[in-house]
Amino acid sequence: MTTRYTKDHEWIRVDGDTGVVGITDYAQEQLGDIVFIELPDIGKVLAQGDEAATVESVKAASEVYAPAGGEVIEANAALADNPALVNEQPLGEGWFFKLQLSSPGDLESLMDDAGYAAYCKELDE
């Protein structure tokens, strides 16, 4: 499995032609306590960069963008009852949705672990 990151702090973990999408630890820290998440409908087709979900925290509301193009094949129903999972496990149980990838080449424009770590370090300077 490969994990890639966007400059908007989304991650996508790819296994074959399926990608699991969420927001990074950096993003959830910036948002603070998450109180509501609006997930995309199953069957929705997204292009890379499309608005896919909305996250509301005690501080702000923020859009979540599709890191790659594809069709939504699953949404994390656990987040409806427990949006704080994103704060607790942003790279684990706090995932948002799964995509059937239509444009695997989209992943080439995303950062790897080291690139994302360097990017976040720049933001904090």
CB count within 10 Å of CB 50 equals 13
Q: No. of H helices and E strands in the chain?
A: 4, 9
Coil, strand or helix at 120: helix
29-77 per-position pLDDT tens digit: 999 999 999 999 999 999 999 999 999 999 889 999 999 999 999 999 9
What are the residue boundaries of the structural domains of the chain, listed by start?
Answer: 2-124
**Sheet arrangement for strand 61-65:** 34-38, 51-57, 61-65
Percent of the chain residues topping a pLDDT of 70: 100
* pLDDT of amino acid 103: 86
Average pLDDT of the chain is: 96
Please identify, in words, the CATH class of the domain defined by 2-124. mainly beta
C-alpha dist (Å) from residue 120 to 5, 31, 54, 93: 11, 15, 22, 22
Confidence of residue 125 (pLDDT cuts 50, 70, 90): confident
- pTM as predicted: 0.96
Tell me phi and psi for residue 94, to 5 degrees.
-90, 20
The pLDDT of residue 1 is 80
Reply yes or no on whether the pLDDT at 26 is more than 90. yes
